[in-house]
Chains A and B, each alone.
Chain A
């Protein structure tokens, strides 16, 4: 894989606290890569390390083959960054804010104006371009931050909690814009604590917990690796012991009783007909059955629960 971003044994300690603990990342060109995990699990620190905005205690980072500590200007020219809860100068208009960053990037006046207009158009802020940012909503600020990344024509976009604090509609809009950018070949690294929400846009994800990466891979791979199945079938039935009835069925990877007469069945495919047949065959009465795809939240909870249990046992 042609690694656009590579980290090896990345460690960041603040005093005695280890914020990032031996993180190895490989992000390929054109990928949408998700850094997922709860607040305080080291996602933002990892991002700052990628940008060279903080120094690693140990380990190395390569962005496009460059070292962000030694060649920071070259790295920062290629990478666009949307920080968590991005801030702008409230007394300046959207256009003025972007024009200031454009000058910091070293763009000439004419080119900057054209790029700013195009970027604002894309994030649908063109009609408020000359309004002060102080009056902007959370979602508009977030979109303005994305406009800055677009204006920069960055090869890599690093987005820290891009959907944090947004309502569902703004979240959907923003994710669509991110998807469009990815479609144009931009490499995107995004972090989020809302696992289920971003699983749709990510090609691959890394699950963070306490500064470590627990798992890396595509969403489908992770669900099948950890839970053994990609689907969850919820079954309600009377007069049957589902665990016994389903024993030995192909594709069923787990049966857990959720309450009396209710089960959760993890499966590798849509096995509803087979399950129904088994329930009836065992003399039970099938009441309801529903199917859905496994979410990353379930993977996360299951994986780190098991890890914690192993740690306790050890």
Chain B
């Protein structure tokens, strides 16, 4: 008897993905979250333009400043995005699988000639489509506002960096969508699943940066007589902090949107000798700088999706 299953696991994937995307686009829940994110984005960028115009003409990367400049009391556009993108992703995914269970549609859909793979992957892709559309709209909106209010077009390099930033944001949101998908397969009740995902979101975006120094201090105490222990503790702190996708995303946006960034780790004074401080890096070098962060996030996304996949494949589908 052949051990292999017959037929492609991708049969029906596009159908499921498009249906999910269409569902999200028309659901009130997503409308609310998107409204929130658009309003904050417009607010942050509008405030940033006020700051940026003061130094217009001196700055080579005016359009990138639109994303990163903060004016009290508003945080910058990227800070908003780092905080709110997970919320969008969780809203898209927290009831992906358990919702089908509770509506009693799961067995009916799976009785059609498709594999379970197609349903799970289709839901993931459907969410990603919505995220991609939302990010692209935001980016165009911000760039458009920039052109209108400053009267300057973005340079080629700024567009390139902007696109790389879009990709980074997309992967970041994808990680959180995968988190939501895992929760939706592990917990049967949508409320539990949403709370679990939101708890994780709060811990990783708000409390993780506070936890990192504590953990590093406990694991690698500083010996006042040995300066290397201090370096060791800082490295450990960085490594621990980087478990949070929020930290990785922050580093990526820093590397991409601030071309003067030369390193995301520790830099010693000796290493800065003869360096032209503040001189921008070319795009390729900035990409090299954030490559480990991006690769790490893609890996996290794949691992999370695999967990969701295994747990869904093993699930009994009877209600």
Contacts and interface: CB of A to CB of B under 8 A. Distances in A.
B113 A88 contact: no
Interface string B1-33: 111111100011001100100010011000000
Interface stretch (A78-86, A173-181, A299-307): A78-86
Given A54-B318, A104-B12, A77 B113 contact: yes
A84 B317 CA distance: 12
Contacts of A65: none
A41 to B, nearest CB: 14
Contact of A73 (B4, B6, B319): B6
Nearest to B110: A53
B107 A89 contact: no
Contacts of A82: 108
Contacts of A292: none
Contacts of B27: 91
7 contacts: A71-B5, A72-B115, A74-B7, A87-B108, A88-B108, A101-B112, A103-B19
Interface stretch (A44-52, A212-220, A261-269, A277-285): A44-52
A234 interface: no
Nearest to A48: B318
A50 to B, nearest CB: 11
Contacts of A145: 108
A89 B6 contact: no
B104 interface: yes
A176 B105 CA distance: 25
B318 A81 contact: no
A16 interface: no
B199 to A, nearest CB: 28
A48 B110 CA distance: 11
B15 A53 contact: no
Contacts of B16: 104
B258 to A, nearest CB: 44
A8 to B, nearest CB: 14
Contact of A70 (B5, B19, B110): B5
Contacts of A79: 111
Nearest to B1: A70
Given A73-B6, A83-B319, 16 more contacts: A45-B318, A48-B107, A53-B107, A53-B111, A71-B7, A72-B7, A74-B6, A74-B7, A76-B111, A83-B104, A83-B107, A87-B108, A104-B16, A104-B112, A105-B113, A106-B11
Contacts of A74: 6-7, 113
A312 B27 CA distance: 59
B226 interface: no
Contacts of B109: 101, 104
B58 interface: no
Contacts of A71: 5-7
A73 B115 contact: yes
Contacts of A54: 316-318
**Centre residue among B1, B3, B105, B109 by max chain A CB count within 10 A:** B105
Given A45-B318, A73-B114, A87 B104 contact: yes
Contact of B15 (A72, A89, A104): A104
A258 B173 CA distance: 73
Contacts of B1: 67, 70
Given A70-B2, A88-B105, A100-B15, A51 B111 contact: yes
Given A53-B111, A70-B2, A71-B6, A87 B318 contact: no
A70 B111 contact: no
Interface string B288-319: 00000000000000000000000000001111
Interface in A24-53: 44-45, 48, 51, 53
